[in-house]
Amino acid sequence: MDDSETKSLVSSENGSRISLYQSGSVFERMTFELLPMATRQMQSDQDAASPLYQNGLGAISEGKSDEAVKLLIGASELGHVEAQYRLAELYLDGSLLPVNHNEAGHWFQRASDQGDHRAQIRLGWMYEAGLGFKTDHARSVYWFRLAAEQGNTDAQFNLAAKYDNGEGVRHNPDEAVRWYRLAAEQGHADAQYFLGQAYEAGDGIEADVQEAIDWYILASEQGHASARRRFWSLCISGDFYPEDDHEAIFAEQIGASVGHAGAQFKLGFRYDVGDGVVQDLVLAKSWYKKSAANGFKDACYHLGLLSSLGRGMPADIENGKKWDAKGDEIKSIGETLDLKSGRIIHFSGDGVTSLATKPVWMFDDCGRLDIGDAMEYRKTLVRADTGNSESQFELGLMYSNGDGVIADETKALKWYRIAVDNEHSGAMNNLAVILSDSEETASKLKEVTNLYRKAAKIGDEVAMYNFANRYFSGKGVNKNIRLGLKHMRISAEHGYVSAQFSLGRMYHTGEHIDSNFGMAMHWYTAAANQDH
């Protein structure tokens, strides 16, 4: 091996090493002399700058613009961050100084270099917009990121938008969602809206419409117009199912705010009768008028009723007639939304209360106006028209029994059928009862049986009782004592008194089942306790 292959460094003769911190070195002087001196100087500058800044603010409030600017510049030159930021804002908005983007950029830069997140986001925006600097999206991202990492929600949103649009950085939906979420969770309305859009579209995150709705609601609560419109669109498409009156009212308020006539009408009706809200006839009238202005026929009729009855205003029958006439002139039907089913409900104006027609249910036997019955009927009618299956069922009962209205089997059948379409088990049973009186045809017999079967399956105890009797008689179904007893027992256990009595009688007489006086006594007692 020759010498060229064994080259090495020559070591110090005494083996000592150079120390950067040996006595008298520049590093020792920096550590023990220069840094403390610089710190003292910075504190001295701040001590001198603070009164200049405060006096500058005072001069602004007193309208002494020239003096204020001079004081703020003095404080800024000494490194006062608040003064630098305030001075940059003045150059940017032109309130005290002529607009000067270069000077604004200079002072925002000075404040940003000291870590001020407000200045950093301003600087990022100026690079983005090309104000005071050449447009540079990469620099914009740099400053947005610094501010975002300090928790500035506007910067987090802007950085998310950069990733979303691929400006200054490579398009990255995952990063966009991450920054949108950080801002959204701190209450940033725009971020909540765009995070909702990401969930709805499945962009950067797994699609989840319900999660999207939650973020749209949060943004809507802050008055975000786009979020309100998107939320209402999802309501109309049947994606939002309110869990309680509060959520339903909120959705109706959103629909009303975006100009949906049906939602305005429903909101007016709520305030009219105090349904889920404190009754307020002034607000009712206001929402009815907005709905009427948008061509909603029924809103005109309800305004006519308010005016004619003097509810929330002096009684004025002539004005009421004018509203009725305006409603009659509207050719198109109105439509609103049943939030629970996501169905659009169409209004024709039929049956709406109006003194011009004086329907009989509004008057007592002496021909006097019965406001109580009229209002109760109107509440039930409007709720039924807007998709409330329970009210549809109640209307069927009213027409079937002549309760508050003239008995009318045709109208009873109409409302029962509408309620049946909305899966109301009681309406299924009652419709079957009415139809069972005319089971001449096989198709009618089949319809009645299917109605009882469906209602029983849903859990209606009355339908179970009726269906049990069908199994016992073999009418419409194959005779089956075992299934009949099963349905009768479930109906009795659910508290239906007729089923309890029938089951007691069967145990007493041994009909369809072995006699058992103990069980007979049990079910007779249960029925007796309900005053059978």
> Sign of torsion, CA 112 114 117 118?
negative
pLDDT value, residue 35: 57
User: Higher pLDDT residue, 339 or 255?
Assistant: 255
* 345 or 323: which leads in pLDDT: 323
Average pLDDT estimate for 513-520? 86
Single-letter amino acid, residue 154: D
Q: What is the pLDDT of residue 38?
A: 56
Residue with the bigger pLDDT between 25 and 304: it is 304
From residue 238, how far is each of 1, 231, 246, 342, 435 by CA, in Å?
A: 87, 11, 18, 4, 33
Q: Nearest to residue 194, comparing CAs of 239, 224, 238?
A: 224
Give the range with max mean pLDDT: 193-202, 252-261, 325-334. Answer: 193-202
Q: What is the pLDDT of residues 416-449, one digit of tens each?
A: 888 888 888 888 888 888 887 765 567 778 888 8
Q: Assess whether pLDDT exceeds 60 at residue 247.
A: yes
Residues 210-221: what's their mean pLDDT? Answer: 96
Provide the pLDDT confidence category of residue 231 given band limits of 50, 70 and 90: very high
Provide φ and ψ at 81, rounded to 5°: -60, -45
Can you tell me the distance from the alpha carbon of 285 to that of 272, in angstroms, rounded to the nearest whole number?
Answer: 8
Q: How many CB atoms lie within 10 A of CB 178?
A: 16
**Residue holding tokens 């000067």?**
100
- What percent of the chain clears pLDDT 90, i.e. is strictly above it? 32
Residue 518's Cβ-count burial label (10 Å; 0-12, 13-18, 19+) is: exposed
For the segment 289-297, the average pLDDT, to the nearest whole number, is 89
Answer yes or no: are the C-beta atoms of 297 and 327 closer than 8 Å: yes
Q: Taking the CA of residue 233 as centre, how many other CA atoms within 13 Å lie in the half-sphere pointing to its CB? A: 11
Enumerate the H helices of 280-408 as residue ranges.
Answer: 281-293, 297-309, 317-329, 371-385, 389-401
Taken as a whole, the chain contains a residue count of 532
pLDDT beyond 50 at 12: no
Find out whether 176 and 184 touch, Cβ atoms under 8 Å.
no
Model pLDDT, residue 357: 35
Rounded to a whole number of angstroms, the CA Rg of the chain reads 39
Question: Which pLDDT score, from 0 to 100, does residue 381 have?
Answer: 66
pLDDT band at residue 196, thresholds of 50, 70 and 90? very high
- Kindly tell me the burial class for residue 381, based on how many C-beta atoms sit within 10 Å of its own C-beta (0-12, 13-18, 19 or more): buried
Question: Phi and psi (nearest 5°) for 327?
Answer: -65, -40
* pTM of the entire predicted model: 0.61
Q: Mind spelling out the 3-state secondary structure of 161-174?
A: HHHHHCCCCCCCHH
- 23 vs 167, residue with greater confidence: 167
- The listed range with the strongest mean pLDDT (35-44, 74-83, 197-206, 414-423) is 197-206
Q: Which segment of 142-146, 149-153, 352-356 scores lowest on mean pLDDT?
A: 352-356
* Average pLDDT of span 48-72: 85
Kindly state the average pLDDT of the residues 402-416.
77
Q: What is the DSSP string of 412-444?
A: HHHHHHHHHHTT-HHHHHHHHHHHGGG--SHHH
Cα 222 from Cα 240, distance rounded (Å): 19
427 contacts 389 by C-beta, under 8 angstroms: yes
| Whether pLDDT at 404 is above 80 | no
pLDDT for 362 beyond 50: no
What pLDDT was estimated at residue 17?
A: 53
Strand partners, 396: none
- At 340 the pLDDT is 61
pLDDT at 298 over 90: no
Q: Whole-number mean pLDDT of the chain? A: 81
- Three-class secondary structure of residue 338 per DSSP: strand
Separation between Cα atoms, residue 49 and residue 31, nearest integer Å: 26
- Percent of the chain with pLDDT strictly greater than 70: 80
| Confidence tier at 353 by pLDDT (50, 70, 90) | very low
pLDDT band for 254, please (50, 70, 90 cuts). Answer: very high
In this predicted structure, what is the pLDDT of residue 372? 56
Please give the pLDDT value at position 407: 76
Render the burial of 151-167: b for 16+ CB within 10 Å, e for the rest.
ebbbbbbbbbbbbbeee
Residue 273 pLDDT = 78
State the pLDDT at residue 18.
Answer: 52
pLDDT interval class at 314 (50, 70, 90): confident
Query: For residue 280, is pLDDT > 70?
Result: yes
Predicted local confidence at residue 334, as pLDDT? 65
- Confidence bin at 145 (pLDDT 50/70/90): very high
pLDDT of residue 97: 83
Q: Apex CA 486: angle with CA 480 and CA 487, to 5°?
A: 95
